[in-house]
A and B are shown apart, each in its own frame.
Chain A
């Protein structure tokens, strides 16, 4: 195929009534309460960009954004207009730079204190191996967070580009359909609160568990440890929220396309009127809409790839860290439960808190990745249900379908594996396998101890 076969027949001029026709949104009539991406009440054609803007973009994830901005993980961008963000100002940039510097300094200090007896107080031992476990866990946490900071600092520009692309896309949707694509991102706030609570809880548990006076160094260590964990987790939630944003846009175009499928076209007419021309669209609009859909789909795929590129290193290290944490905590939990007579509620709670946090994060991540991937792949499947009579319509369909044959849309962890529901399954089956092995070793060890003690006395 020659490179310029991918041409979509533009509709003829007379079929375009207006330069930007107000088309029918698959979500139905424009609803004011759904309008949160930008808070404007103006009609979309009123050329708002020149106006002074007082409503922030990405309103619905602003809580998580502000947390990330404050911690230097996200650039503190300037809002140029309703649909554009600009690079941060010098002072803000310096602030982010400064925060990152502090973080790295603290990390260095932490590593130093981990390898010197200063931190010995924190690692009271219930058994030798557990100490090693905790060490590795701490080191992994530090590694993950440092990586996150580095990658974020490097990807500042591409992050801004992605945001701008999303905003451009929204602008187009808004101009053409008058629809605001947004959803309730309450889950991000809930997760933020959950992370904060679990981290505080873990610190408190730890403080109670430490015997004797706690030195300031230990406090710093603990606090920084919690912050590292919390921010890494927050970044994961942020990635999920971004994916959700992409998912909503994919869903929008799929809904739009769904109006042309044979199932919807064959439905009786009066039902359509009753729904307020909601589902089935007129076939005459198909070339125009399909052009729009293809463009949107391509853009969205690019955004999706961009998001993936921005955070795949972070995801790999987070998944590794998470896997390790889940395994060790499950193991500890098991040891605690089966230990004869010395169940410590402190450690139980500690394990539970960790498990809850990591399992829910893993579930969130894999779920949002899986959903978005499925929605992105669904476009071709829905298009396959469009049965057009006219030859040129069929050609339009064929071109898209041909393009998407080998276009495997996936959200990968640095190319190592695709992240979706099956990843969750694989992680848990691996955890189970390790647990069985670990527990067996433990029992072997225990049976030796049990039997040799009476033998010696």
Chain B
């Protein structure tokens, strides 16, 4: 254990800058000094207090922002339709709710987060023992890229909106800066999640790569052996091979091969029926594998010492595969634990993403129709800023979903690579092991979900985009209908004023007039307009 410890760098070493920024912004309450010196996340009371203070300050300023920018809204309320108002109110606060969820969850999880990374480190050590080397440096690069992207997006949205759409002659307009805070904090928090998830994915891939490598070396080993055997057979093809009788006995025992058919049948695969039934039933692949199955037992016997392939040594490889399986399970469990830690933030992020995406598009539509929109969504007045906002929000959500999906795919791939091992080293005993382990792997499930309400995979993404589209259609259609109804009434009332005769008609059937009017106006306006 102590010998391997210096080799395995803890994952958290790559998180230095991110932790520093998160600490300053008040996302994580853990102790800064201990993190710097020992790369551990430990509880800290002062950090907790600091975080609470930041949370309160953010909430206060954000409310101040809503209040100071909401004056127009209050005057608007009378004219605006109620639904738009209520949705607007809800939308203004969802950012705050999201930020609050993130920070409170971080407070709740402050002990568990350290444990999680400790578990990852232990898993890394076990992987290292199995000669699975991981490169953490790309994680550090990823963090930097994400940070830069976040800052770029936030700044561009903030500055563009501030310059174009906020009246910056008043000093209160400085408060607009606060509008970027919730999304910024949320993004930082999600970077933690995304990068840790990415690290897990890398670990799964490392396991897969190790298994693939086993297969590769074994294939090379076999090619080398074949070359060897081809040499021998070509040298003395006319006569039966000159092995001593000891080995001949062993071949019969092991592979059911007799020496006479071995030399010729090795390439054509005619010795198929001599393979033991279990292996045979599994092995319905191409020619080369069948020939390999013929050759394998002999090769294992004769030249294990010359060329190394771990797959040839069943008892040793069993140990290794067992260990890899256990690490796989451990990583799956870590994934589950991580999902548990971030389940509420992810749920709130998804809700936020869905709402904001729909709202931004809807308000963009409203703005093109020169209808009033809530003042906090003024970025919707400019299509370019809208595009940036949308790509920022959707980028966050989609990236998380994509990564979760990829991770669970990578975890499922291990079973495939394991079977490749079984196929390439066509050996009865190994098949049994592979079957046993693949049954186990089948039961290692890592599915990322938001509180169990929906899983994070491509299907959900499709569902969400479908949802956004249908909501937009509904909202825009109704908006259109309302507009047309309004216009029609205005023309109708002006007609009414000019010709007083019509009044008697409307009085007669004012009970059913509403529906009738609605139908007639919506039907008629396009032709008149």
- Asked whether A and B interact, the reply is yes
What is A's interface to B at a CB cutoff of 8 Å?
Answer: 262, 334, 338, 370, 380-381, 383-385, 387, 394, 397-398, 401-402, 404-405, 420-422, 424-425, 429, 433, 436-437, 439-441, 443-445, 447-449, 451-452, 454-456
Further pairs besides A384-B440, A439-B82, A451-B493: 12, Cβ < 8 Å: A338-B82, A381-B445, A384-B441, A384-B443, A402-B439, A420-B452, A445-B518, A447-B486, A448-B518, A451-B490, A452-B489, A456-B506
Beta-carbon contact of B514 and A452 below 8 Å: yes
Beta-carbon contact of B471 and A447 below 8 Å: no
For A436, list chain B residues within 8 Å (CB). 83, 471, 474-475
Question: Could you list some 23 contacts between A and B, CB below 8 A?
Answer: A338-B82, A384-B441, A384-B442, A385-B440, A387-B325, A394-B432, A398-B439, A405-B442, A420-B452, A421-B451, A421-B452, A422-B454, A425-B454, A433-B470, A441-B478, A443-B83, A445-B515, A448-B517, A451-B489, A452-B510, A456-B496, A456-B506, A456-B510
Contact of A444 among B451, B478, B496 (CB under 8 A): B478
CA distance A262 to B327 in the complex (A): 11
Beta-carbon contact of B81 and A387 below 8 Å: no
What is B's interface to A at a CB cutoff of 8 Å?
Answer: 81-83, 86, 322, 325-326, 329, 432, 435-436, 439-445, 451-454, 467, 470-471, 474-475, 478, 481-482, 485-486, 489-490, 492-493, 496, 503, 506-507, 510, 513-515, 517-518
Contact of B489 among A394, A398, A439, A448 (CB under 8 A): A448
Total of A-B residue pairs, C-beta within 8 Å: 110
Beta-carbon contact of B474 and A456 below 8 Å: no
CA distance A376 to B98 in the complex (A): 34
For A422, list chain B residues within 8 Å (CB). 452-454
CA distance A444 to B483 in the complex (A): 9
Contact of A448 among B435, B445, B475, B514 (CB under 8 A): B514
Beta-carbon contact of A401 and B453 below 8 Å: no
Beta-carbon contact of B453 and A456 below 8 Å: no
Contact of B514 among A385, A402, A405, A449 (CB under 8 A): A449
Beta-carbon contact of B453 and A421 below 8 Å: yes
Beta-carbon contact of B86 and A444 below 8 Å: no
Say whether, besides A405-B442, A429-B467, A443 and B482 are in contact (CB < 8 Å). yes
For A398, list chain B residues within 8 Å (CB). 435-436, 439
For B489, list chain A residues within 8 Å (CB). 448, 451-452, 455
For B440, list chain A residues within 8 Å (CB). 384-385, 397, 401
For A420, list chain B residues within 8 Å (CB). 452
CA distance A402 to B439 in the complex (A): 7
For A404, list chain B residues within 8 Å (CB). 443
Residue of B nearest to A388 (CB): B436
Say whether, besides A370-B452, A436-B471, A338 and B445 are in contact (CB < 8 Å). no
Residue of A nearest to B471 (CB): A436
Beta-carbon contact of A444 and B83 below 8 Å: no
For A451, list chain B residues within 8 Å (CB). 485-486, 489-490, 493
Beta-carbon contact of A444 and B485 below 8 Å: yes
Beta-carbon contact of B496 and A424 below 8 Å: no
CA distance A56 to B518 in the complex (A): 66
CA distance A444 to B515 in the complex (A): 10
Beta-carbon contact of B452 and A456 below 8 Å: no
Beta-carbon contact of A455 and B496 below 8 Å: yes
For A441, list chain B residues within 8 Å (CB). 478
For A405, list chain B residues within 8 Å (CB). 439, 442
Residue of A nearest to B497 (CB): A455
- Minimum Cβ distance to chain A for residue B290 (Å): 25
Beta-carbon contact of B503 and A384 below 8 Å: no
Beta-carbon contact of A401 and B326 below 8 Å: no
Contact of B439 among A338, A384, A440, A449 (CB under 8 A): A384
Contact of A387 among B322, B442, B475, B507 (CB under 8 A): B322
Say whether, besides A422-B454, A448-B517, A448-B518, A262 and B442 are in contact (CB < 8 Å). no
Beta-carbon contact of A444 and B467 below 8 Å: no
CA distance A164 to B513 in the complex (A): 65
Say whether, besides A443-B81, A448-B514, A455-B489, A262 and B453 are in contact (CB < 8 Å). no
CA distance A394 to B496 in the complex (A): 89
CA distance A436 to B355 in the complex (A): 13
Beta-carbon contact of B514 and A401 below 8 Å: no
